[in-house]
Amino acid sequence: MPYIEESLSAGEQVSTLFKLHWVTRIPMMLWLLLVITFPFAIYEYLRIRNIEQGVTNKRVIFKTGIISRKSEEMKLSSIETVEIDQGIFGRIFGFGNVKVSGRGTSDVLFRTVADPMAVKRAIESISHPAA
């Protein structure tokens, strides 16, 4: 069972899951081209496969880890800003980073997500519903 579904509290539902852009697989493909570095390609595949990121009706969640687990979470009520960082290649190929800032010093950073504007809209529509 995926971490996000496993960590839901009572009454909490997954609203949207965010996918990584295909460019995140480029290092894995380069490692595969070099037969000697096949273990690195396996590691890269597992690393990418075990990233989960999304928004529920109560919080935003970013989880990484193959064997160990690290998660960054923020309650929707704590969100102050949602920012997009998209370079030239990101604009051309449709990927970027989305930074969710909250009260205090907490941030949740979604790296190399596909369609960062849609991710920003999904988070903002859940955290600040239209009146």
Q: What CATH number is associated with residue 46?
A: 2.30.29
Q: Is residue 3 domain-resident?
A: no
pLDDT score of 131: 52
Q: Is residue 46 domain-resident?
A: yes
Give 129's contacts (C-beta < 8 A, 6+ positions apart): none
Percent of the chain with pLDDT over 70: 95
- Angle (nearest 5°) at CA 111 between 90 and 17: 105
Whether residue 48 contacts residue 41, with contact meaning beta carbons closer than 8 Å, is answered with: no
Q: Is residue 9 domain-resident?
A: no
Q: Is residue 35 domain-resident?
A: yes
Residue 27 confidence (pLDDT) above 90:
no
Map tokens 């687990």 to a residue. 69
Total count of domains within the chain:
1
Q: Model confidence at 95, in pLDDT bands (50, 70, 90)?
A: very high
> In which domain, by residue range, is 122 found?
15-127
Mean pLDDT of the chain: 87
User: How many CB atoms are closer than 10 A to CB 56?
Assistant: 21
pLDDT, tens digit (0-9, with 9 covering 90-100), for 47-91: 999 999 999 999 999 999 999 999 999 999 899 999 999 999 999
Residue 36 confidence (pLDDT) above 90:
no
Q: Is residue 8 domain-resident?
A: no
Q: Is residue 89 domain-resident?
A: yes
